[in-house]
Amino acid sequence: MNDVAHLPVLLERVLELFAPVLADRDAVLVDATLGLGGHADALLSAHPALRIVGLDRDPNALQRARERLARHGDRVEFVHAVYDRIPAVLADLGLSRVDGVLMDLGVSSMQLDLPERGFAYAKDAPLDMRMDPTTGPTAADVLNTYSVADLTRILREYGEERFAHRIAKAVVAERQKAPFDRSERLVRLLYDTVPAPSRRTGGHPAKRTFQALRIEVNGELDTLRAAVPAAIDALADGGRIVVEAYHSLEDRIVKRAFAERASSRTPEGLPVELPGHGPDIRLLTRGAEKADEREIDHNPRAASVRLRAAERIGAAAR
């Protein structure tokens, strides 16, 4: 894959949101999902004094990002870690607070474009789906060992799949013949199991199941629930967090975390804000921002993006 083909989503908006806290100063930003480094490259180019701590659970992505960002020298610290480990990573680097945190969630372009990773249902590949291929169970392990009840749960919760129970029963019955190991066999089963009317109107019948398996394999939602509050806590006064989510489950978690931290903790009915009980952040976006049609035409991955941003409120204001 040619890394030039990797197009950072909502790049201009990300640059705009971070500019007030990164411009003309020695600033530190955590790119919590570094991927191929597209956002990081643009941020480093725009702010010559900026340092970036780049996290990614995928060692292959880290290596590609190293190559892409080499021209920025020692201004990037590359860390092999899942992004809910932001506090530990910063402690290891001797950093108490940072000026920005960026999260570009979900599966990366590189992971989708490499058939052997098993993320894309359009190509036959091993059923892996691990963002970090060095550790943890694969999608095949989930399909071959989970009960009907557990498969139904993850398909319903993580894939929002209407036919979750029907698919789970079909998977368990089919694996009795032979374990699942490749995606083509699973896609055929889904075509046979999902009713024809739904196939005609609901998009590719494998989309929701593959999403659910990927989220389960990588523990994505639990990681996100821990990571957003940790990222907010890592921000210096006036620091900013920007999160790009690509499906409703992710966006819902970000929305709730932001709403909770943007709310006062002073008991209702008191006439004044209690010291230390005010909001931790102020929202910088009204709802979730989306890509415009021009960007979507240029980069189809942008079609599902939902961007939210917030700024840490100074302790004196809280």
| pLDDT number for residue 1 | 39
Determine the residue type at 69: L
| pLDDT number for residue 2 | 41
| pLDDT number for residue 259 | 96
Structural domain harbouring 226: 3-104+220-317
278 is known to lie in a ligand binding site: no
Q: C-alpha distances in angstroms, 222 versus 35, 89, 227, 262?
A: 20, 19, 9, 21
Q: Are residues 190 and 256 in the same domain?
A: no
Q: What is the CATH number of the domain that holds 76?
A: 3.40.50.150
Q: Is 71 helix (H, G, I), strand (E, B) or coil?
A: helix
Which residues does residue 240 pair with via DSSP β-bridges, in sequence order? 100, 311
Domain annotation covers residue 112: no
Q: Find all residues with CB under 8 Å of 208, minimum gap 6, and list them.
A: 155, 159, 160, 161
Rg (CA), the chain: 21
Cα distance between residue 208 and residue 212, in whole Å: 6
Q: Is 169 helix (H, G, I), strand (E, B) or coil?
A: helix
Which residues does residue 310 pair with via DSSP β-bridges, in sequence order? 241, 283
Q: Are residues 225 and 304 in the same domain?
A: yes
Q: Within 10 A of 185 (CB to CB), how many other CB atoms are there? A: 16
Cα distance between residue 80 and residue 100, in whole Å: 19
Q: Are residues 236 and 287 in the same domain?
A: yes
| pLDDT number for residue 215 | 94
pLDDT in tens, 233-284: 999 999 999 999 999 999 999 999 999 999 987 777 676 666 676 899 999 9
Element at 45 (helix H, strand E) = helix 38-46
Q: Are residues 41 and 52 in the same domain?
A: yes
Q: Are residues 230 and 297 in the same domain?
A: yes
Helix axes 207-218, 220-234, angle to 10 degrees: 60
How many alpha carbons fall within 13 Å on the CB side of residue 242? 24
277 is known to lie in a ligand binding site: no
104 is known to lie in a ligand binding site: yes
158 is known to lie in a ligand binding site: no
How many alpha carbons fall within 13 Å on the CB side of residue 188? 7
146 is known to lie in a ligand binding site: no
Domain annotation covers residue 183: yes
All residue ranges of the chain with pLDDT < 70 are 1-6, 107-120, 198-203, 269, 271-275, 277, 315-318
Residue ending a domain, among 195, 218, 241, is 218
Closest CA to 263 of 273, 250, 271: 273
Residue ending a domain, among 193, 218, 243, is 218
And the tokens for 217? 């394999």
Domain annotation covers residue 113: no
| pLDDT number for residue 115 | 54
Q: Which residue has the tokens 């021009």?
A: 294
Q: Find all residues with CB under 8 Å of 213, minimum gap 6, and list them.
A: 127, 129, 139, 142, 143, 154
Q: Are residues 158 and 237 in the same domain?
A: no
pLDDT in tens, 217-236: 999 999 999 999 999 999 99
| pLDDT number for residue 316 | 52
Q: What is the CATH number of the domain that holds 205?
A: 1.10.150.170
Question: How does 12-34 read in b/e, with b if 16+ C-beta sit within 10 Å?
Answer: ebbbebbeebbeeeebbbbbbbb
Q: Are residues 157 and 191 in the same domain?
A: yes
Q: Are residues 240 and 97 in the same domain?
A: yes
| pLDDT number for residue 232 | 98
47 is known to lie in a ligand binding site: no
Domain annotation covers residue 138: yes
39 is known to lie in a ligand binding site: yes
Q: Are residues 177 and 248 in the same domain?
A: no
Q: Are residues 122 and 99 in the same domain?
A: no
Cα distance between residue 26 and residue 99, in whole Å: 10
Please tell me the total count of domains within the chain: 2
First to last CA, the chain: 48
And the tokens for 121? 């249902």
| pLDDT number for residue 4 | 38
Q: Are residues 287 and 259 in the same domain?
A: yes
Q: Are residues 13 and 145 in the same domain?
A: no
Domain annotation covers residue 303: yes
Domain annotation covers residue 109: no
Domain annotation covers residue 230: yes
| pLDDT number for residue 121 | 72
Q: Is 104 helix (H, G, I), strand (E, B) or coil?
A: strand
Domain annotation covers residue 78: yes
Cα distance between residue 282 and residue 275, in whole Å: 17
Residue ending a domain, among 194, 218, 242, is 218
